[in-house]
Amino acid sequence: MVLMFLIGVGVLSLSTVTVRSESLVKAEAEARANARLALILALGELQKQLGPDQRITASAGILDDSPQTPQPDGVSHPHWTGVWNAWAAGPEAFGDDEPSKHRTIGSTRIPGLAPSYRENREDHFRSWLVSLRDEKALELGSAKDLALTGGLLPAGDGGAVRLVGKGALGKEADEADYVTAGLINVNSGARPGTERTGRIAWWVGDESTKARILPDAFDLGDDLVKDELISRAMSAGSTGHHAMEALKALDDPEVLQKMFTRNSLELAAAAGRGTRESFHHATPFSYGVLADVREGGLKRDLNALLERPIVLGES
């Protein structure tokens, strides 16, 4: 009798563990599916907004009310990425674009010559690359005054979630550097009124505005062929990441060549977790396309023309 009782208790415990394990597996699969959906939506919006060459990106920090101060003032979400339509500078209208009188970039001593596009920013603004409800992403002022309060684990009725916090920025990070995005409901069906099965959020960070952590180009030319040396000589030797307090220890070229991800920065000798402070300022990967944002297509390389011998008889 005792043996049968023990067998029954064992089978019941095994069943409970099995049911609990299946619930965890189902919850994990659902979370992965929601994360995949958020990634697909983010990539789709990125392609939609930045597909044409005549598009420009900038962080919301350019809306700073006081550019003289280190931190953006009057901007609630300074690290959102915004997309603008490019327009040709000049006194005349160009296609559907408005005219601009700022054709020369002058010094700060002559403010009249320095380009200021404040009047056209709102007209040419397209969207913020972040998940928001009620088409708030299409409003330029959302980055300045839209109130979004959310933690890493938002409440059931919360409308936002923190995507970048102390885990990525370090324990001493300023709250102004946090990145918060709006939550979007995931329903069980496409029809209105269907049951909510989850929520997702996404944010696109702009790596092109960060300094790339790379070794000095002029210190690594031993194994390069002539064409590679010429190409490297025309580029900047380094972005000067040593000026950042958290990255001063990264001065070994062999170590820098192994920096492929942000997590690998923390593995570098003497770098430590201080590298997290540079999350919004430096990156080990930053690539771009030399696109002509005015005419479209690639920029014209004049080096081949300028390096040709000058023949006076040619017209």
**Please, which pLDDT band fits residue 4 given cuts at 50, 70 and 90?**
low
The pLDDT tens digits for 58-112 are: 999 988 888 778 788 889 999 999 999 887 665 566 555 555 544 444 444 545 4
| pLDDT given at position 15 | 60
Residue 168 CA: distances (Å) to CA of 177, 250, 259, 280, 302: 10, 19, 17, 10, 42
Q: What are phi and psi of 43, to 5 degrees?
A: -65, -40
| Per-domain boundaries in the chain | 21-208, 211-285
For residue 29, the model assigns a pLDDT of 85
The predicted model gives 118-124 an average pLDDT of 62
| pTM greater than 0.85 (yes/no) | no
d(CA 145, CA 75): 7
Q: Which two tokens stand for residue 170?
A: 């370090």
Residues 6+ apart with CB under 8 A from 176: 71, 72, 78
Distance CA 83, CA 59 (A): 9
User: DSSP strand E in the chain: where?
Assistant: 55-59, 81-85, 125-128, 160-164, 179-182, 184-187, 196-200, 211-212, 282-283
Tokens of 231: 């190409």
